[in-house]
Structure 1
Amino acid sequence: MELNKRMHAFLMERAEQLTEEWYDSLDKSDPTGVYASTDPAVIAQLKNQNFRFHQYLCNLLIEEEAVFYKQFDEWIFEVSRSKDHVNTPIHFIIREFMRVRSQYLGFVDEFTRENEDVSLERMNGWKEKFVKAFDDVILKFTEETYTYQTRMLAAQREMINELSSPVIMLKGGTALLPLVGDIDTQRAKFILENTLQQCSNLRVSHLLIDISGVIMIDTMVACQLFQLIDSLNLIGVKSTLSGIRPEIAQTAVQLGLNFGSIRTASTLEHAIKF
């Protein structure tokens, strides 16, 4: 334990040096991300995060693993959610973890050379502990980054879905639902739920559903569309489907989809007049 304390003190005395050497050797030619920033505030924040990384990591030598990893988790959670790291490609971040790991292995060698009472077994033990710690931190960091970015993408997708499927009031209880772009199963499900809620809130009596901007409709999406029309009918909302393009009509026939029970119009203009 005494050797571990000495090694810990040795590394902590060089923590600032570690940070400065790391930043000086940093590849600042990355096309994007935190490492390419020239903003003094971003650079100061980056150095501070790196310095605190060393403070946490060095405690591996003097603390129980459970305590060590709990404290490190706080650093991982904070940094993986910082705006500058979120906007940095993950392979750039992993590259820097690996470079810092090389720094640590080099300092272990230096400490061993300066202290004759450090055995080869002890030196290799330290190296194994640090390599394992770096592997664990890299894994947790990438997992946390993936989780955070997945949540962000889901929130953005929900917002896009909401903005891309608005129910627009026209007059006399008539409203328009213009659908544009690709409609996958998830978006079709959202459209169904969101449209029913909006029609109820806006007291719509007749909904014009225009699909002239839809690229393709498969069986699953068509089923969701039929379900939407049936559900609208159950809450007292009549519906008219407009803008069925020739290629979609041809696909519908090939798939055996039956639009015969649905009120249709060739264009939105005709639907509005009707």
Structure 2
Amino acid sequence: MHRNRELYAFLLDKAKRLTEEWYESLDKSDPEGVYASSDPEIIERLKEHNYEFHLHACKIFIEEKATFVKEFDEWILNLAADKEHLETPTHFIIREFINVREQYLSFLKEFVSENKVSRQKEEIYNQSIIDVFDIAILRFTEEKANYLNSQLESQKAVINELSSPVISLNNKTGLLPLVGEIDTYRAKTVLEKTLQQSSAKGLDHLFIDLSGVIMVDTMVAHQLFQLIDTLKLLGITTTLSGIRPEIAQTAVQLGLNFENISTTATLSQAIILKTN
């Protein structure tokens, strides 16, 4: 334990030097991300993050592993949520973790040489350093992925909501223009939002235009017909327009019946028929 504290003090004493040497050796030619920044404030924060890493990392030699991992994990969570690191490709960040690990292993050799550390103890120290960086890389990539996935889900929810608006054509008639790929999740969202909006707008007729939809799967076709049936229960009649042959074929294969549904080739035809 005495020797462990000596190594901790040795690395802690070199933390500032580790940061400066790392930044000087940094490949600043990356086309994007925090490492390419020339903004003094961003550079200063980048150095601070690196220095904080050293303050945490060298504690592996003096703390119980559970305590070390808990404190280290908090630092990693903050780094993974950092704006500049979120905008930096993950493989660039992993590359720099590896570069810093090489710094540590180099300084460890210096410590071993100066203090005549046994070969067995040196191997233990090496493994401890490798463990630190394994934890850092794994947890950082995991948390960054979680954070980005959460953002994507939020964006997806907003896009789905915006991509299924019911447009009022007059006091009692509305239009639902569907565009792009409709997966099962989006179909469910369309169904819920359309029912809410149609009811809130007091519609008695809704045009559903599918001319911008290339293909639907089995579940989506069922959701569409469920929407039409539910609208009917609310006293809202529907007209389907712009049905592509592929969609019609899918519906026929599923045994879905168009007989009781008003359909037209184009939206303009649907509107003309309604107004006449």
TM band (smaller chain): over 0.9
Map of 2:238 onto structure 1:
239
Identity of aligned pairs, percent? 58
Map of 1:72 onto structure 2:
72
Letter in 2 for 1:119: S
Map of 1:218 onto structure 2:
217
Deviation for aligned residue 1:252:
4.1
| Structure 2 unaligned blocks of 5 or more | none
Letter in 2 for 1:54: H
Letter in 2 for 1:85: H
Letter in 2 for 1:226: F
SS of the residue aligned with 1:63? coil
For residues 116-155 of structure 1, the C-alpha deviation after alignment (integer angstroms, 9 at most, x for no partner) is 2x21211111111110121122111111111111111111
Contact 1:241/1:263, CA 8 A, preserved across alignment: yes
Letter in 1 for 2:263: T
Map of 2:262 onto structure 1:
263
Map of 2:55 onto structure 1:
55
For residues 53-101 of structure 1, the C-alpha deviation after alignment (integer angstroms, 9 at most, x for no partner) is 0001111111111111111111111110111111111111111111111
In 2: Cα distance, 1:32 partner to 1:215 partner: 36
For residues 153-176 of structure 1, the C-alpha deviation after alignment (integer angstroms, 9 at most, x for no partner) is 111111111111111111121111
In 2: Cα distance, 1:204 partner to 1:34 partner: 52
In 2: Cα distance, 1:43 partner to 1:204 partner: 57
Map of 2:106 onto structure 1:
106
Contact 1:219/1:257, CA 8 A, preserved across alignment: no
Alignment partner of 1:93 is 2:93: yes
Deviation for aligned residue 1:235:
2.0
The Cα RMSD (Å) is: 1.5
Contact 2:218/2:250, CA 8 A, preserved across alignment: no
Deviation for aligned residue 1:201:
2.2
Deviation for aligned residue 1:224:
1.0
SS of the residue aligned with 1:178? strand
Map of 2:190 onto structure 1:
191
Contact 2:208/2:238, CA 8 A, preserved across alignment: yes
In 1: Cα distance, 2:196 partner to 2:205 partner: 14
Deviation for aligned residue 1:255:
5.5
Map of 2:202 onto structure 1:
203
Deviation for aligned residue 1:254:
5.3
SS of the residue aligned with 2:177? strand
Letter in 2 for 1:261: N
